[in-house]
Amino acid sequence: MLRRSLSRASPLLSNGLLQTLPLPFAPSTRSLRSLSSHTTPQTLNPSPSQEEESHENLRDSSRPTVSVSIDRSGLHNSPEHSHNPSSDSELVKHLKSIIKFRGGPISVAEYMEEVLTNPHSGFYINQDVFGAGGDFITSPEVSQMFGEMIGVWTMCLWEQMGQPEEVNLIELGPGRGTLMADLLRGSSKFVNFKKTLHIHMVECSPTLQKLQYSALKCVDEAVNEDGSTKRTISMLSGSPVSWHSTLEQVPLGTPTIIIAHEFYDALPIHQFQKSSRGWCEKMVDVSEDSLNFRFVLSPMPTPATLLYLRKRCQWASAEEVAKLDHIEVCPKAMELTHQIAKRISSDGGGALIIDYGKNGIISDSLQAIQKHKFVNILDNPGSADLSAYVDFASIRHSAKEVSEHISVHGPITQSQFLGYLGINFRVEALLQNSTEEQAESLKTGYWQLVGDGEAPFWEGPNEQTPIGMGNRYLAMAIVNKKQGVPVPFE
Ligand code: SAH
């Protein structure tokens, strides 16, 4: 795979950008991703309703009120209840009160959104969840090469855009800011490129915004003489940096490059399940003694079933749908893609989406990860990350339905993407200037980014064997048609 990738590396890259990347700075010894496999999510007992109750208040805000009665028959023996925590956290109290005041269960999407981004106690809001000491580790945290290669992609697209004098470089969900920091360091020698950048970080977590500020080595600079107006500058590139909690807040009107790495997988999904009553929605309820959360199945289609499941299935063949008993749909991903496609259509440029997922309907992938281990989705909400596989086909259809001025490319595997961009050259350059320990870290990091499965060269403890993410992660680009086909999707 990699040798083939090498031979297909773009001439633009092998002749130009890669040769002039700055000399390797100290190769990182970042910690390894210890979570490597995906557990089969538990399934709900779909036994037919015997004790249905009516919950008139369950509603989807975008639709008129629809009366939904809830199948509680699975509650007594449900395998998917949470373990009663010693005392309820603020988030648990909040979730229980929503369910109580609604008079019925909430969708998995609403549960996921509250758990991850509730402004007071969501998983991402008050803590640094990344790295070996956190809950999970991502590609930019594995190796500096990841951010550098995204930088190469960004510079190539900027060239294809005709080297505009101003560019909004937007990152969605930048985590610790590591990817952007590596991108800026890696491109710092390209003065003409870096002087065009205005960096926009779209981040809902105040804690992570602070980490991003220091990762980008930001300073606040007075704009006027009395110092009453300030702007933030990254000392890595001299570029202005702004933070926003949503993409909508980033000003329009400037050519745009958007990066979304492991952002889509955190967007809330609805889960649907085929039952004897047709497609129903899986929902989160509290048990009768109010102690635990548990999954229940709506006894009839909910508004989300009629709206989102129907829409998603229109983009699939009857055979693809017929094979499935569970389907996940992410309306927020569709909405976000609409926004991205419209922005790129009007302002020019492109977006790069990298995530784990599939080029088709996702069946049942929601997972909870805490301290590098899979845990029960309903246990101690807010203490574990929730994420779901990304449906790349749905992103493609969503982008195309809002604009005919954009084109969608991929998905290709992360291994192909990084290989075509020339990560092999980069690792070799870094290895030449590394200590033994750094070389070890570079090798494992490289394997994690582009390899598939367990690293064959590993001689350390089994539980630390580096696992390749090269084929599980996919890359897709959405670009303005004026830009032609983006590297390396030719
Ligand atoms: N891209 C980073 C982090 C991925 S984790 C990396 O690869 O390391 C998801 C990131 O998206 C976090 O920074 C989280 O705080 C942010 N996030 C999640 N949901 C969000 C939302 N709805 N709006 C804005 N940011 C969000």
CA of 204 to the centre of ligand 1 (A): 7
Residue with tokens 């229980």: 96
What would the two tokens of residue 300 be? Answer: 């009839």
CA of 172 to the centre of ligand 1 (A): 7
Task: Give the three-class secondary structure for 128.
Answer: coil
- 288's CB contacts (< 8 A; 6+ apart) are 75
Q: What is the pLDDT of residue 84?
A: 54
Probe residue for ligand 1, chosen from 182, 202, 205 as the CB with the greatest number of ligand atoms within 8 Å: 205
Q: What is the pLDDT of residue 86?
A: 58
CA of 276 to the centre of ligand 1 (A): 38
- Give the domain ranges of the chain: 139-267+328-483
Beta pairing partners, 200: 170, 242
CA of 317 to the centre of ligand 1 (A): 32
- 367's CB contacts (< 8 A; 6+ apart) are 38, 39, 41, 374, 377, 386, 387, 388
Residue with tokens 């809001």: 125
Are the C-beta atoms of residues 395 and 335 closer than 8 Å to each other? no
- 41's CB contacts (< 8 A; 6+ apart) are 364, 365, 366, 367, 377
Instruction: Give ligand 1 pocket residues (Cβ under 6 A).
Output: 116-117, 124, 130, 138, 140-141, 173-175, 179, 202-205, 208, 245, 261-263, 266
Distance of CA 273 to the CA centre of its chain: 24
| Strand intervals (E) in 104-189 | 106-107, 167-172
Q: What is the pLDDT of residue 36?
A: 35
Probe residue for ligand 1, chosen from 35, 115, 121, 124 as the CB with the greatest number of ligand atoms within 8 Å: 124
Are the C-beta atoms of residues 277 and 268 closer than 8 Å to each other? no
Classify each residue of 238-267 as buried b or exposed e, where b means 16 or more C-beta atoms within 10 Å of its C-beta: ebbbbbbeebeebeeebbbbbbbbbbbbbb
The model scores a pTM over 0.75: yes
Nearest alpha-carbon partner for 33 in 115, 139, 126: 139
Are the C-beta atoms of residues 114 and 94 closer than 8 Å to each other? yes
Amino acid at 50: Q
d(CA 455, CA 318): 39
Backbone angles phi, psi at 33, to 5 degrees: -75, 120
Amino acid at 488: P
Rg (CA), the chain: 23
Probe residue for ligand 1, chosen from 116, 208, 263 as the CB with the greatest number of ligand atoms within 8 Å: 263
d(CA 292, CA 405): 49
CA of 157 to the centre of ligand 1 (A): 24
Name the residue at shortest CA distance from atom 23 of ligand 1.
Answer: 204
User: Block means of pLDDT (10 residues each) for the chain, length 490 residues?
Assistant: 30 43 41 32 32 30 35 43 68 96 95 97 88 82 96 98 98 97 96 97 96 97 85 97 98 98 98 95 92 94 95 95 96 98 98 97 95 92 95 98 97 97 95 92 94 87 87 97 95
Q: What is the pLDDT of residue 82?
A: 57
Beta pairing partners, 368: 375, 386
Burial of 410 per CB tally in 10 Å (0-12, 13-18, 19+):
buried
Task: Quote the CATH superfamily of domain 139-267+328-483.
Answer: Vaccinia Virus protein VP39 (3.40.50.150)
H helices within 329-412, ranges in order? 331-347, 392-402
d(CA 174, CA 232): 17
CA of 193 to the centre of ligand 1 (A): 26
d(CA 323, CA 325): 7
d(CA 149, CA 147): 5
Q: What is the pLDDT of residue 48?
A: 32
